[in-house]
Amino acid sequence: MTTTTEGVSEFAVLAETMEARPGSRLMRPVEALSAVLLLAIIAMLLSGVVFRYGLSRPIVWIDEAASIAFLWLAMLGSAIAIDRCEHLRLTIFLNALGERARQFTETLGMVAIMAFLLVLLPAAYMYASGEMDITSSALNIPAGYRAAAIAVGMVLMVLLAVAQLLRTARALDVAVAVAAVAAVASALWLLSPALTSFGNGNILIFLVGGAAVCLAMGVPIAFCFGIATLLFLAFTTSMPLVVMIGRMDEGMSSLILLSVPVFVLLGCILDATGMGKAIVDFLASMLGHVKAGMSYVLLGSLFLVSGISGSKVSDMATVAPALFPEMKRRGHKPKEMIALLATGAAMADTVPPSIVLIVLGSVAGVSIAALFTSGFAIALVLLVALAALARIKAARENVDGVIRPSLKRIGATALIAAPALVLPFIIRSAVASGAATATEVSTIAVVYAFIIGTVLYGGIGIRRTYKMLVETAAMSGAILLILGTAAAMAWALTQTGFAFELTDMMSGLPGGWFTFMLVSIALFMLLGCVLEGLPAIVLLAPIMFPIARAMGIHDVHYSMVIVTAMNVGLMAPPIGIGFYIACKIGNVSPDEAMGAIWPYIGAMVLGLLLIAAVPWFSLALL
């Protein structure tokens, strides 16, 4: 699962080969250590589940030990993502430039990242040194051993950035970029006395404008937030930078987030074992013979597969190759298939285990069990809307020669798919019932999928397993660094008093709570186009949820509305980054698919407005 794109962000084109990566030799030991840390986290979490529920003898130090390994995994994974060019970024504007201008802009962005890391590195060292005076309660070791991960990760990222510049950039470009960064910093330092008088205008200058400029330059999203926040704190406040490190640590370190890398690994196992394909084959045997049947199969597969993988990229990559050939044979146009694939993936993003819902629960303080239960129902509403449109569009579908499978054939595919079909319902029911936390369930699900995949679906070799562990570390590091820098930016926003001003403004809107819902939908759709779901949630949830509560909107209802709005924005061209990923997976030109997706986006928007207007859809199953 990758991250840079051709005009895209969320996850993106495949990583460069090992030989082509500038820091590959340096990173091989780091990759091995990251794989070990991930295995250690899974082993500790699984042991915790066994001893707590099976033996009724909880191990008190497991959470602390897992937290230490988790932060190290996050920072080492961030470095691996730098090495593999897998950090999430938007390149649509960068790719519009000429070749020479693009090369210089990429060099300038890399120099800006290096400057950001070098400026924060002393603060990271001070933070770790300060934590050495604090002893952990269970393990009785200095907390600085854990906090040192941030400084070590930053050092690795600086070294990798230097290696990449030496390998790919022209010396003149590097010199000009360094001079440009130094000139901007000097100018801001000279202007800092005047900037402090601008008050909340600095939010627009730095936190909005600075982040937008970095984003347009193709700087990874995590560093866009980090650079903007650093500039804001350094030139408009007297706040020590060590506070920013502390906020980044807090944003990456919630125990709830331990389930993120485990669910990412679960998606890799799903892809490697073919469990997802077994589900697709079963649904095809059930519905493939009817008109619009393959569209129903595609939507149903995304719904069920999402419940296992928790990743839109894994969902689409599993479903598209299995269904597109037959859909083409029946007369489906490639652009229509891409449209259905993209919006179907957006529909399924609330199906447990959704990483977006896990992060939202962590940031906004909403029950993940409630979010999982409601997310299942909301996905069903959107599924019906998309299926109805697919049926209308299938009026001329050619089903001549399609033979209805025998009951024996259906039974055989059901038997093969049964172990995979059970998994999403186990995950949802275990978390929703309170029998286990999302983190505990994620660990059990990984072990279950690995064993079932090995025994029934052909197994996974050692080399492939190691590759999956490293991929998981890189993907998790990219996600968690975004959460860390976005948490720092969100904290900077709240310190300005902007949140209180926004609350007063929103409370005064005519039309009450539903007008606020409409404004929230527009805002999160826009952010979903540009940022992807996770950073938008971390930035705005601390600000928007208190306003929603003050207006009497249920936390779960509001959660479903904003997550769905972000998913619609994610798939809406010309900026929606998920749309380009779907085109990449389906090997269809974005220009060709762009016109076809709008009716499906319209169906999603109608479903979203229905969800916003009728709280029952979100709350009925709670």
Q: Is the peptide bond before 405 cis (omega within 30 degrees of 0)?
A: no
| Residue 223 tokens, joined | 């560093």
Q: How far apart are CA 172 and CA 181, in angstroms?
A: 14
Q: Is the peptide bond before 353 cis (omega within 30 degrees of 0)?
A: yes
Range with top average pLDDT, 107-121, 224-238, 300-314, 400-414: 107-121
Neighbours of 25 (CB within 10 A): 10
Lookup result for tokens 């971390």: 538
- Ramachandran area for residue 616 (φ above 0: left; ψ -120 to 50: alpha; else beta): alpha
- pTM of this structure: 0.82
> What angle separates helix 99-131 from helix 221-236, to the nearest 10 degrees?
70
Dihedral over alpha carbons 288, 291, 293, 296 (to 10 degrees): 180
Q: What is the pLDDT of residue 499?
A: 66
Q: How far apart are CA 441 and CA 428, in angstroms?
A: 9
Neighbours of 521 (CB within 10 A): 22
> 501 pLDDT exceeds 90?
no
CA angle (232, 522, 201) in 5-degree steps:
25
What are 435-452's pLDDT values in tens digits?
677 777 888 888 888 888
What are 508-554's pLDDT values in tens digits?
778 788 889 999 999 888 888 766 667 778 778 888 898 898 888 99
Q: How far apart are CA 264 and CA 271, in angstroms?
A: 11
Helix spans in 334-456 (H): 334-347, 355-364, 368-393, 407-432, 438-456
Q: How far apart are CA 114 and CA 346, in angstroms?
A: 35
> 123 pLDDT exceeds 80?
yes
Q: Is 169 helix (H, G, I), strand (E, B) or coil?
A: coil
Q: What is the pLDDT of residue 533?
A: 65
Number of helices and strands (H, E) in the chain?
A: 26, 0
- Burial of residue 461 (number of CB atoms within 10 Å: 0-12, 13-18, 19+): exposed
Nearest to 569 by CA among 186, 134, 5, 9: 9
Q: What is the pLDDT of residue 278?
A: 81
pLDDT band with cut points at 50, 70 and 90 for residue 324? confident
In this prediction, residues 560-583 reach a mean pLDDT of: 83
Q: Which residue has the higher pLDDT, 110 or 530?
A: 110
DSSP assignment, residue 436?
A: S
pLDDT band with cut points at 50, 70 and 90 for residue 408? confident
Q: Is 387 helix (H, G, I), strand (E, B) or coil?
A: helix
Q: Which residue has the higher pLDDT, 440 or 469?
A: 469
pLDDT band with cut points at 50, 70 and 90 for residue 397? low
CA 372 centroid distance within chain: 17
What are 416-438's pLDDT values in tens digits?
888 888 887 777 777 766 667 77
| Residue 258 tokens, joined | 């331990």
Nearest to 8 by CA among 355, 315, 312: 312
Nearest to 380 by CA among 344, 353, 356: 344
In this prediction, residues 183-206 reach a mean pLDDT of: 86
Instruction: Give the chain's largest Cα–Cα span.
Output: 79
What are 244-281's pLDDT values in tens digits?
999 999 888 877 788 888 888 887 887 777 777 787 88
Do residues 345 and 315 make contact, with C-beta atoms less than 8 angstroms apart? yes
- Burial of residue 171 (number of CB atoms within 10 Å: 0-12, 13-18, 19+): exposed
Q: How far apart are CA 264 and CA 275, in angstroms?
A: 15
> 10 pLDDT exceeds 50?
no
> 310 pLDDT exceeds 80?
no
Q: What is the pLDDT of residue 419?
A: 83
Nearest to 382 by CA among 342, 425, 424, 344: 344
Residue 515's alpha-carbon distances to 362, 381, 522, 524, 566, in angstroms, are 26, 22, 11, 14, 18
pLDDT band with cut points at 50, 70 and 90 for residue 11? very low
Q: What is the pLDDT of residue 314?
A: 66
C-alpha gyration radius of the chain: 24
Q: How far apart are CA 386 and CA 384, in angstroms?
A: 6
What are 581-606's pLDDT values in tens digits?
788 777 777 777 888 889 999 999 99
Nearest to 264 by CA among 27, 564, 66, 469: 469
| Residue 122 tokens, joined | 């002393």
| Residue 473 tokens, joined | 């570390």
- Burial of residue 56 (number of CB atoms within 10 Å: 0-12, 13-18, 19+): exposed
Q: How far apart are CA 231 and CA 237, in angstroms?
A: 10
